[in-house]
Structure formats: C-alpha cells, structure tokens
Amino acid sequence: MLSFVVRRCATGLLMLVALSLLIFILLRLAPGDPIDAYINPSVPMSVSDLETLRDRLGLDQPLPLQYFGWLHAALSGDFGYSIQRSGVRVLPLVMERIGPTALLMGMGLAIAIVVGVAAGIYSAVRRNAWPDIAMSVLSFIGISSPAFLTALLGLYFFSVLLRWAPSGGMQTAGAPFSVTDVLAHLILPACLLSIGHAALIMRYMRASLLEVLNQDYVRTARAKGVPEFWVVIKHATRNALLPVITLIGSTVGIAIGGAIFLESVFNWPGMGLLLVNAVGTRDYPVIMGATLVIGACVILVNILTDLAYAFVDPRIRVA
C-alpha cells in the first residue's frame, strides 16, 4: 500500500512538471501577451510606450529562460506575481480561490449524491412504475442540458424575478463576513450545479442496484426472511455503491475545473473564473500556478479514489 502511494506521488510530480511545460508552450503560442491585454484598442497608445512595461515584467527574455526561471522559482514555492493585479502574489491568490470552488463543488456534489443515490434506490425498487419513468426522463433531461443554460435560467427565475437569492458573488458587497450570507449566495449555484451530477448518479445507482438485486445472495437473504427494506439498504446498496464511487471520483476530477459556467454566470470567485479571466488577459503566472494546483488536486483525487476502491472491496488489490 505504502509503496503504491509513494510511486504514484513520484509519477505525479513528474507529470506536474510535464504539465507546466505543456501549458507554457501552449500559452506562448497564443497571440497577444499580457501587455496586449492592457491596451484598450480605442485609446491611442504606441508600441514603444509599452516596451518598458514589458521589460518590467520580464517578457522580453528568451522563452527557455523565462520557463526555467519560472520553474526554478516554482520549485521553491514562489509562483510569481499576477500581471493583471498589481502586486498580488500568485500562490496566495490561487489558494484563496480554492476555498470557494471547493465550497461550491462540495455543496453541489453533496446535494447531488444525496438526491442521486436516494432517487436511484427509489427508482430501482419501484422499477418501471411511473415514478421510475418520470425520474428517468428528468434525469435524462438533466444530463442533456447544457450547464450554462440551466445556470442562466436559474439566475433569471430565482434571482431577478423572484428575488429569492442574490444575483452573484460570494458575499454581499460591503457587508461584514457572515456564514449565513455566504450560504445564501451559495445555495442557488450549488443546486444548479447538482442537477447534472445528480442525474448521472441516479442512473448509475439504479442500474447498479438492479444488477445487484438479481444476485444470488440477495435472493438468499429474501428467502431467509430478511425484511425487504434491510435487503435493499444493508446488503444490496453497499455493493451497488462501487461503480457509483468510481463515478463520483471521476466527477470530482472534472468538477475541479468544471464549475466554470456556473462561476461565470454567478461571478463566484472560484478557480474556474480565475482561469477564464487569466486566459482572457494572458496573465501567464496565474495560469501556470492555477493549472499546477488543479493538476495536483486531480492527481491526488485519483490516488484517493483508487485507495477508496480498495477499501470498499477487499478483493481489489491495488496494483
């Protein structure tokens, strides 16, 4: 077990370095650099005006030098300064954004898991009855809808029309920090985020449970007179959860960078929004720093999922 974890961490680190190189190359291929992002094309400015600014930011050095300079600093934990935001260091900025993203993801996934698993069990048990069919249709629509459309519609109905929820941001501007304030801002985007995931989890849970309910040991339990409720909850569900766990694991991986539409519509200060803005303004240090942090999280989650797998099913030996 330990050697497995160590090996995976080592490969993980190597992959992060490769990732940073890949992103660096891709970024430099994109037209326009951070200074180009500064210029307002309707305001006259000359190229020579900006050369000094470029010098200040080290953008005139040859590319390999820029990369290795960055790598050297990064290895000692210094990810540099954000170009767009004067004087803000990248690592604290990125870490500051993980919290809100984790909060949104966490809440969204929690809602999705609870709703998805419960709905999945219910559908499997009441198979082919009208609640099952209704929930199947709803879940299909949930999977097939683009995330940003549900976000826009949700924002319009619940915020602009009904004024049940705030229209964006994580806290009320100008108000002192309070947990209820954050929760009030969190609830709408988290619910909208959970729609797609809940639908997927419900389908997997239903299919998996149906397959398990056909197994011999379930039939045996029933024959022994165990009440149906316990058959389903205690025996079947535990085994049916396996594929669902894998699904949740891979969902988390996607989710870390994936709340981008919701964060964009709701101006939620998370990683997704940070990245969109950073790419839009070619803020190289922020993009590199954020990508690495996200990459590290994804690798970590993959390792943890494999460990969870082994924990739930002792037959699985992690290779």
Partner 1 sequence: MRVKTIAIAAALLLGAGLPTIVQAQSPKTIAGGFDVGPGGFPKNFNPLVATGGFTWLSTYFEPLVIWNAGLTELEGDLAKNYTVSDDQLTYTFKLVKETWHDGKPFTSKDVKFTLELAKNKASGSLLAARLGDIASVDAPDDSTVIVKLSKPNGSFLSILSQVLILPEHALAGMPPESLATSTWWSTNPVGTGPFKFKKYVTDQYVELAADDDYRGGKPKVDVLINRYFENPAAAVAALRAGEIQFTYVETDDAASLKSDANFKVIEGGSYVVNYIGLNQKVDLFKDIKVRQAIMYAIDRNAIIESLYGGAAKPANCGYVAPHFVPEGLEAYAYDPAKAKALLAEAGWNKINGDKPITLLTYYSSPQAANVMAAIQSMLAQVGINVVPRVVDTPTYNGIVYKAGTPDWNEFAMVYAGLQNGPNPAGINPGLNKSQIPPAGFNTMRIEFDDLSAAFDKALGETDASKLDAAWQDVCKVMNKDLPWATLWVANRYGVASNKLKDFIWTPAPGGGPYAAHPETWDIQ
Partner 2 sequence: MMAVAAIDPPAARSTKGPLRRALDRFIENRAARAGLFIVIPVLVAVMTYHWWWPYAPNAIDLKAMNKGPSATHWLGSDGVGRDVFARLLQGGRISLLVAVSSVAISIVIGFLVGAIASFGGRVVDATAMRLVDLAMTLPPVIFLLVLASIAGTGIAPTILVISLLSWPILSRMVRARLLELRERDFVVAARGMGAGLSHLLFRHGLPNCIDILVVYATLQIANAILLEAGLSFLGLGIAPPEASWGNMLNLARSTVVLEQYPWQWMFPGAALVFTVLAINFIGDGLRDAFDPRSDLN
Binding site for partner 1 (CB under 8 A): 30-34, 36-53, 56-57, 81, 84-88, 93, 96, 155-156, 159-160, 163, 166-176, 178-181, 264-265, 267, 269, 273-274, 277, 280-282
Quote the least distance from Cβ 272 to partner 2, whole Å.
6
257 binds partner 2 (CB under 8 A): yes
Are 291 and 174 in contact by the 8 Å Cβ rule? The answer is: no
Are 205 and 121 in contact by the 8 Å Cβ rule? The answer is: yes
261 binds partner 2 (CB under 8 A): yes
Are 147 and 196 in contact by the 8 Å Cβ rule? The answer is: yes
Within 8 A by CB and 6+ apart from 244, the residues are 117, 120, 201, 204, 205, 208
Are 116 and 237 in contact by the 8 Å Cβ rule? The answer is: no
Quote the least distance from Cβ 79 to partner 1, whole Å.
14
If you write DSSP's letter for every residue of 232-290 in order, what string do you get? IIIIIHHHHHHHHHHHHHHHHHHHHHHTHHHHHHHT--SHHHHHHHHHHTT-HHHHHHH
Q: Coil, helix or strand for 178?
A: coil
What residues pair up with 81 in beta bridges, in sequence order? 89
Q: Which is nearer to partner 2, 55 or 272 (CB)?
A: 272
Quote the least distance from Cβ 251 to partner 1, whole Å.
25
Exposure string of 146-161, with b = 16+ CB inside 10 Å and e = fewer, is ebeebbeebbeebbee
Quote the least distance from Cβ 28 to partner 2, whole Å.
10
> Binds 267, which of partner 1, partner 2, none (CB < 5 to 8 A, cut-off by type)?
partner 1
258 binds partner 2 (CB under 8 A): yes
For residue 4, the one-letter residue type is: F
Quote the least distance from Cβ 276 to partner 1, whole Å.
8
Quote the least distance from Cβ 73 to partner 1, whole Å.
14
d(CA 231, CA 177): 47
146 binds partner 2 (CB under 8 A): yes
Are 182 and 171 in contact by the 8 Å Cβ rule? The answer is: yes
29 binds partner 2 (CB under 8 A): yes
Which residues ranging from 154 to 183 are in contact with partner 2 (CB under 8 A)? Answer: 156, 160
> Binds 212, which of partner 2, partner 1, none (CB < 5 to 8 A, cut-off by type)?
none
Residues contributing to the site for partner 2 (CB under 8 A):
11, 15, 18-19, 22-23, 26-27, 29-32, 140-141, 143-149, 152-153, 156, 160, 210-211, 214, 253-254, 256-258, 260-261, 264, 272, 275-276, 279, 287, 290-291, 294-295, 298-299
